[in-house]
Structure 1
Amino acid sequence: MQNLKQIRYQAVMRHLLFWLAYILYQCVNNGWEDKDVFAFKLDPQLVTSVPIAMLVTYLNLYVLMPLFYYPQKYLQYTIGMLGLILIAGLLPRFFAYAIWVPWDKIHDPAMYRMEKTDFWIPVRIFKNAAGNTPILLAAMLLKLMRNAFKQEKHLREVEQEKFTAEMGLLKAQINPHFFFNTLNSLYALTLKGSEQASKVVLRLSDLMHYMLYEASENKVLLQDEIKHLESYIGIEQMRFADRLELSFQYSGDIAGKMIAPLLLLPFVENAFKHGLAEHIGYITINLKVTGNRLFFKVENSYEPNTTGTKTGLGLKNVKRRLELTYPGNYTLLINKYNEIFEADLKLDL
């Protein structure tokens, strides 16, 4: 409710400032009188000229434009505008004839003797219309500019909401996918009666804490993401220790660098899932930071007859997240050759 009051207050203040500027202009313009001397003259006729200007302005803004301009009925709108301009010329002449000519007769006889007292004076009517047209058009232009700004702001908000919703969905898909694979690893260790099962539970607890309380942010420290990868790799090493050749190296200035959370994990998951499912193999992971550019490469062995039948959600999700989070600032190459699977990511942090 307070927010609505603030919006209304701001709208009222905008209108007041607009009309105060108009009155100030009229006072200065009336005082100038084609002389090179600055003067400020508060003309009594402002009592009628300002309400007339307000009338035609608001009729245009809140009647003609909603009825004809916004629905793109431009012919009807043009006719309506010509009618308003005619009103803007006739009304001041009417009040001049009915009020200000008699006023001058009493208070300014010299001016009264110089004035024409007829109502129908086409030149005066045209002059009044021409005088009110700029304020009419200026208010319309400001209204259109404000509408365009609000529409652009709304579109940005919609895009941001869409982005947030889609990113949330992708993260929600990543977490169950990750835990499904990790719990499979824990189950395999439990079946073997391995003493390392308790260590896996501890590492899994750390990973869950990371995902619940840190990975919900838009960006996290690259150091934390690397630590998270090491925890995951540690879990998988316990499972595949008897048939795994693993190399994980990182280098460069990683301090203070930020990255989208859980962005690198799917590449590592994919390597373990397809590279070591049923045979002895190797996985090589290299991460390097040069300036603000990240180079991340994962290479693993695979058997063509067992890989590719099911790609899973991981790589599909990470590709979409890269498109959303780093549009135009990354390159991703996926290659398969000679029973080797390779994912090569270059990313501007």
Structure 2
Amino acid sequence: MEMRGQVTYKTITQHLLFWLVYMLYQAISYGWEYTDQLTFRLAPSVIVATLPVTILLTYINLYVLMPLYFYQERYIRYIFGLVVLLLTGGLLIRFFTHEVILPWEQLHDPVRYKMENKHFWIPVRILRLSIEALPMLAITMVIQLMRNAYQREKNLRELQLEKFSAEMGLLKAQINPHFFFNTLNTLYSLILKKSDDAGKFALRISDLMHYMLYETRADKILLTDEISHLENYMRVEEMRFADRVDLSFHYSGPVEGKLIAPLILLPFVENAFKHGIENDAGWITVAIKLTEQRLFMKVENSYPDHARESGHGLGLANVRKRLELTYPGNYTLNLSADNGLFEAELKINL
């Protein structure tokens, strides 16, 4: 039983198989009930009356009563409508049996015809026929509710995935302009000075742009590529600050073959250069260590007075959001600033 409004080839096939199983059950139970023998006989009353009416009742319940009352939590009205539907179904089955099956049995099954009550209005039989349709309506209703719940869960997961992708795309888009704003200003100043380093600087920026535009589209990239990108970035910043920065960078551990979210480490290094150096001399230390599937990163930098006034910047706010989206419950991030020292310590379970 499919959700409301969804009619597909797969849906039709599933419904046909369901009703074929129901017919098989009716064919077996016809002889089983009276002779205690497992025989296969599809009674004429099932083909002419029971099966068509049961199908009709089932779909009226699924696509009329449930949307009108059950889904709207008007349960009293739904129960009343279901009772009326069942009684109507019992009357219809009795009508087809009396008007079609009895004349047929009179010609083809005289023995059974003699056993039949020839009166149409037999309240007990009509009530029994009504109740016999109830299990099928209950089964299809449960199937429908289960499918609805599954579809809602599936839709929720798809919405969450779309939201995740949108947020990640937005955060990445915020990282790239923020970084290139700083580096392009430096390139401009080098060009104005007609420095020989302008060409080398432009080439490194080109490599960084290529990495950010084409190598970071995947959800995860090789940790070795991310480290190489960090090294390239730091070389650009070294050229930018010349002899005004004392930089130390090292990494250790089995980094080969490990995967990490792209650009997740860059904002910590970028923040150190932006807020720890600027126009003053300063120092930066970056250390990355990997032990099995756990990554440790520690970035320390000098912390002048102007950095306290400007805060930690947009980059760290974005990376915290990205960490929460990409590694929920699998990371720790500690930021501290004291006595002229800013420290960022990150741990990720890769």
SS at match of 2:284: strand
The answer to whether the Cα contact below 8 Å between 1:218 and 1:261 also exists between their aligned partners in 2 is yes
The answer for the alignment partner of 1:83 in structure 2 is 84
Indicate how the Cα distance of structure 1 residues 273 and 36 shifts in structure 2: closer, same or farther if over 3 A, else same. same
Q: Quote how far apart the aligned CAs of 1:310 are.
A: 4.4
- Return the alpha-carbon distance in structure 2 between the equivalents of residues 34 and 327 of structure 1: 63
Q: Quote how far apart the aligned CAs of 1:304 are.
A: 2.8
Give 1:254-269 correspondences, 5 Å limit. Answer: 254-269=255-270
**Higher mean Cα deviation, 277-286 or 105-114?**
105-114
Query: Match for 1:147: what amino acid?
Result: N
SS at match of 1:31: helix
The answer to whether the Cα contact below 8 Å between 1:163 and 1:324 also exists between their aligned partners in 2 is yes
The answer for the alignment partner of 1:293 in structure 2 is 294
Deviations 1:66-111 (A, max 9, x none): 2111222212111110111112222111222222222222222221
The answer for the alignment partner of 2:321 in structure 1 is 320
The answer for the alignment partner of 2:26 in structure 1 is 26
Q: Which runs of 5+ in 1 are unaligned?
A: 1-5
- Return the alpha-carbon distance in structure 2 between the equivalents of residues 181 and 170 of structure 1: 18
- Return the alpha-carbon distance in structure 2 between the equivalents of residues 16 and 25 of structure 1: 14
The answer for the alignment partner of 2:199 in structure 1 is 198
1:284 matches 2:285: yes
**Higher mean Cα deviation, 260-269 or 125-134?**
125-134
- Return the alpha-carbon distance in structure 1 between the equivalents of residues 341 and 277 of structure 2: 12
The answer for the alignment partner of 2:108 in structure 1 is 107
Query: Match for 1:22: what amino acid?
Result: Y
For normalisation by structure 2, the TM-score amounts to 0.94
The answer to whether the Cα contact below 8 Å between 1:299 and 1:342 also exists between their aligned partners in 2 is yes
The answer to whether the Cα contact below 8 Å between 1:303 and 1:339 also exists between their aligned partners in 2 is yes
Indicate how the Cα distance of structure 1 residues 294 and 42 shifts in structure 2: closer, same or farther if over 3 A, else same. same
Q: Quote how far apart the aligned CAs of 1:222 are.
A: 0.7
Q: Quote how far apart the aligned CAs of 1:36 are.
A: 4.2
The answer to whether the Cα contact below 8 Å between 1:65 and 1:77 also exists between their aligned partners in 2 is yes
The answer for the alignment partner of 1:12 in structure 2 is 12
The answer for the alignment partner of 2:175 in structure 1 is 174
The answer to whether the Cα contact below 8 Å between 2:171 and 2:322 also exists between their aligned partners in 1 is yes
1:42 matches 2:5: no
The answer to whether the Cα contact below 8 Å between 1:185 and 1:235 also exists between their aligned partners in 2 is no
Give 1:227-242 correspondences, 5 Å limit. Answer: 227-242=228-243
Indicate how the Cα distance of structure 1 residues 306 and 62 shifts in structure 2: closer, same or farther if over 3 A, else same. closer
- Return the alpha-carbon distance in structure 1 between the equivalents of residues 266 and 17 of structure 2: 56
SS at match of 2:301: strand
SS at match of 1:344: strand
Indicate how the Cα distance of structure 1 residues 329 and 34 shifts in structure 2: closer, same or farther if over 3 A, else same. farther
Q: Quote how far apart the aligned CAs of 1:324 are.
A: 0.8
The answer to whether the Cα contact below 8 Å between 2:303 and 2:337 also exists between their aligned partners in 1 is no
Q: Quote how far apart the aligned CAs of 1:249 are.
A: 0.6
- Return the alpha-carbon distance in structure 2 between the equivalents of residues 298 and 130 of structure 1: 74
Q: Quote how far apart the aligned CAs of 1:292 are.
A: 0.9
Give 1:327-342 correspondences, 5 Å limit. Answer: 327-342=328-343
The answer to whether the Cα contact below 8 Å between 1:299 and 1:343 also exists between their aligned partners in 2 is yes
- Return the alpha-carbon distance in structure 1 between the equivalents of residues 96 and 273 of structure 2: 88
Q: Quote how far apart the aligned CAs of 1:286 are.
A: 0.5
- Return the alpha-carbon distance in structure 2 between the equivalents of residues 286 and 181 of structure 1: 23
Deviations 1:177-214 (A, max 9, x none): 01011112323433444322211111111111111111
- Return the alpha-carbon distance in structure 1 between the equivalents of residues 7 and 235 of structure 2: 55
Q: Quote how far apart the aligned CAs of 1:7 are.
A: 6.2
- Return the alpha-carbon distance in structure 1 between the equivalents of residues 156 and 306 of structure 2: 48
SS at match of 2:305: coil
The answer for the alignment partner of 2:304 in structure 1 is 303
In the TM superposition, structure 1's runs of 4+ consecutive aligned residues that sit over 4 Å from their partners are: none
The answer to whether the Cα contact below 8 Å between 1:185 and 1:236 also exists between their aligned partners in 2 is no
- Return the alpha-carbon distance in structure 2 between the equivalents of residues 223 and 306 of structure 1: 31
Q: Quote how far apart the aligned CAs of 1:262 are.
A: 0.7
Q: Quote how far apart the aligned CAs of 1:299 are.
A: 0.4
SS at match of 1:33: helix
Give 1:151-162 correspondences, 5 Å limit. Answer: 151-162=152-163
**Higher mean Cα deviation, 76-85 or 188-197?**
188-197
- Return the alpha-carbon distance in structure 1 between the equivalents of residues 247 and 146 of structure 2: 60
Q: How many residues align?
A: 344
The answer to whether the Cα contact below 8 Å between 1:188 and 1:239 also exists between their aligned partners in 2 is no
- Return the alpha-carbon distance in structure 1 between the equivalents of residues 36 and 251 of structure 2: 76
For normalisation by structure 1, the TM-score amounts to 0.94
RMSD value, Cα: 1.6
Q: Quote how far apart the aligned CAs of 1:280 are.
A: 1.9
Deviations 1:14-61 (A, max 9, x none): 111111111111111113125443211121112221110011011111
- Return the alpha-carbon distance in structure 1 between the equivalents of residues 7 and 210 of structure 2: 42
